[in-house]
């Protein structure tokens, strides 16, 4: 197949996306596909006269990928590096190359790549892509709306509420909560802008920092417990994985700094909790109108209560990411997982 692996963009998860997409691109090349890695925002300015030749270029576009840094990417510098200085999210030749491909593998994380807008654009342009469709992405990207859907669907989730930057009363009490609480952007990812706060001073500081990312945040009760993730492919849950940071919680640095977190898969939990977590993952997947694949995040408290935090519609896809590790525990190797996602995406929308 001719495959464009789309990555990068202008999300705070840009570096993670490029690393995920590089892994996807490499393994699909090894599987015999004509694959090219493309930055959705920077595009390909110096493209060959015959765009079809891109799919057989020896480097496969992998030169744009780098290591994930412990700090967030400088998005202003990324914008400044685009020669045409356009503010269009889709860079030079992106649409043309995606239309030439048999399918576009979405290796994007966060922002416009994961909130349903790109998926809707591709639907209108007749471009085939991997992962959930536009409706599911839009619903799941909004953590406040996701929380409402979970509550209505009987899926336990921490109590919480959305708070707009311009709200006249931003106090924890006005939201029906008490310290400690978690403050996080409504549509962010990779735990960027997420803070656990214990008092009013920490709360005001966290609000100021989180509101730098977007105008709406979610404030929710802090649940002390073990952290887990559980992936789902085509309605079937994968073995849960436990995430054990060596310090703090599973924030951006602990996610991507080497040896900062221990990940145990299959998770060392009783069979009943394993079964319940998988069932909740599938229920959340369906409640949010998702298809193809996603990954749920959970907390398990000391009493055995499970709380679903959110669904990640385009989860990390490096070979060391959570979903591929879960798939491996289920007997699905990384390259086979990438091909399975393509197969299920085609079946969901195009066959």
Does residue 325 surpass a pLDDT of 80? yes
Task: Measure Cα distances from 225 to 42, 97, 142, 273, 330 in Å.
Answer: 41, 46, 24, 14, 25
Strand 2-7, strand 103-106: pairing? parallel
Is it true that the peptide bond before 262 is cis, omega within 30 degrees of 0?
A: no
Domain around 175: 159-221
Task: Find the mean pLDDT for residues 317-346.
Answer: 96
Same domain, 177 and 269: no
CATH number for the domain harbouring residue 251: 3.30.470.20
In a domain, 134, yes or no: no
- CATH code of the domain in which 17 resides: 3.40.50.20
Of 221, 244, 267, the domain-final residue:
221
| pLDDT for position 251 | 47
pTM to 2 decimals?
Answer: 0.93
Q: What is the Cα–Cα distance from 94 to 77, expressed in whole angstroms?
A: 20
Do residue 167 and residue 281 come from a single domain? no
What is residue 191's predicted lDDT score, i.e. its pLDDT? 59
Instruction: Report residue 103's pLDDT band, with 50, 70 and 90 as the boundaries.
Output: very high
Average pLDDT over residues 68-83: 87
Residue 143 lies in a domain: no
Q: Kindly state whether residues 77 and 166 are assigned to the same domain.
A: no
Query: Is the residue at 59 inside a domain?
Result: yes
* Residue 137 lies inside a defined structural domain of this protein: no
pLDDT given at position 280: 98
CA distances from 167 to 70, 162, 172, 179, 199 (A): 32, 10, 12, 19, 19
Rounded to the nearest integer, the mean pLDDT of the chain is 93
Helices (H) and strands (E) in the chain, counts: 11, 13
Same domain, 43 and 61: yes
Predicted confidence (pLDDT) per residue in 284-312, tens digit = 999 999 999 999 999 999 999 999 999 99
Cis peptide before 266 (omega within 30 of 0): yes
Provide the number of structural domains found in the chain.
3
| Residue 45, Cβ density class (10 Å: 0-12 exposed, 13-18 middle, ≥19 buried) | exposed
Confidence check: pLDDT of 256 > 70: no
122-179 pLDDT, tens digit per residue, is 999 999 999 999 999 999 999 999 999 999 999 999 999 999 999 999 999 999 999 9
Residues 271, 338, single domain; the answer is yes
Domain match, 208 and 247 both: no
- Residue 289 falls in which region: left (phi positive, over 0), alpha (psi -120 to 50) or beta: left
CA distance 337 to 351: 20
Quick check: 245 pLDDT over 90?
no
325 and 256 in one domain? yes
If asked whether residues 277 and 170 sit together in one domain, one would say no
Q: Are residues 167 and 275 in the same domain?
A: no
Strands 236-237 and 216-221: unpaired
Q: What is the DSSP string of 183-243?
A: EEESS--TTTT-EEE-SHHHHHHHHHHHTTT-SEEEEEE---SEEEEEEEETTEEPPPEEE
Task: For residue 23, give both structure tokens.
Answer: 């892994």
Residues 210 and 256 in one domain: no
Final residue in a domain of this structure, among 190, 205, 221: 221
Among residues 221, 243, 262, the one where a domain terminates is 221
């Amino acid at each position: 197949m001719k495959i464009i692996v789309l990555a990068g963009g202008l999300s705070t998860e840009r570096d993670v996306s490029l690393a995920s997409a590089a892994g996807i691109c490499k393994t699909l090349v090894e599987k015999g596909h004509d694959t090219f890695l493309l930055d959705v925002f920077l595009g390909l300015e110096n493209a060959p006269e015959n765009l079809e030749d891109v799919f057989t270029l020896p480097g496969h576009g992998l030169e744009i990928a780098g290591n994930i840094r412990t700090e967030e990417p400088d998005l202003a510098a990324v914008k400044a590096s685009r020669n045409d200085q356009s503010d269009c999210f889709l860079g030079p030749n992106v649409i043309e190359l995606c239309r030439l491909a048999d399918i576009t593998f979405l290796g994007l994380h966060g922002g416009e790549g994961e909130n349903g807008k790109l998926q809707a654009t591709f639907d209108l342009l007749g471009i085939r892509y991997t992962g959930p469709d536009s409706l599911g992405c839009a619903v799941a990207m909004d953590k406040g709306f996701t929380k409402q859907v979970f509550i209505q669907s009987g899926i336990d989730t921490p109590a919480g509420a959305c708070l707009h930057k311009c709200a006249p009363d931003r106090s924890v009490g006005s939201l029906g909560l008490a310290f400690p609480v978690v403050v996080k952007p409504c549509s962010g990812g990779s735990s960027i802008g997420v803070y656990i706060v214990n008092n009013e001073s920490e709360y005001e500081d966290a609000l100021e920092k989180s509101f730098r990312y977007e105008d709406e945040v979610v404030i929710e009760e802090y649940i002390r417990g073990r952290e887990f993730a559980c992936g789902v492919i085509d309605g079937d849950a994968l073995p849960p994985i436990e995430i054990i940071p060596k310090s703090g919680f599973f924030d951006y640095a602990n996610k991507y700094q080497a040896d900062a977190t221990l990940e145990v898969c299959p998770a060392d939990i009783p069979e009943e909790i394993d079964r319940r977590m998988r069932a909740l993952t599938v229920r959340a997947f369906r409640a949010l109108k998702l298809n193809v694949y996603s990954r749920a995040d959970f907390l398990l408290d000391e009493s055995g209560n499970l709380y679903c935090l959110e669904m990640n519609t385009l989860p990390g896809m490096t070979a060391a990411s959570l979903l591929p590790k879960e798939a491996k525990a289920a007997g699905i190797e990384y390259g086979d997982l990438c091909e399975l996602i393509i197969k299920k995406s085609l079946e969901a929308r195009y066959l």
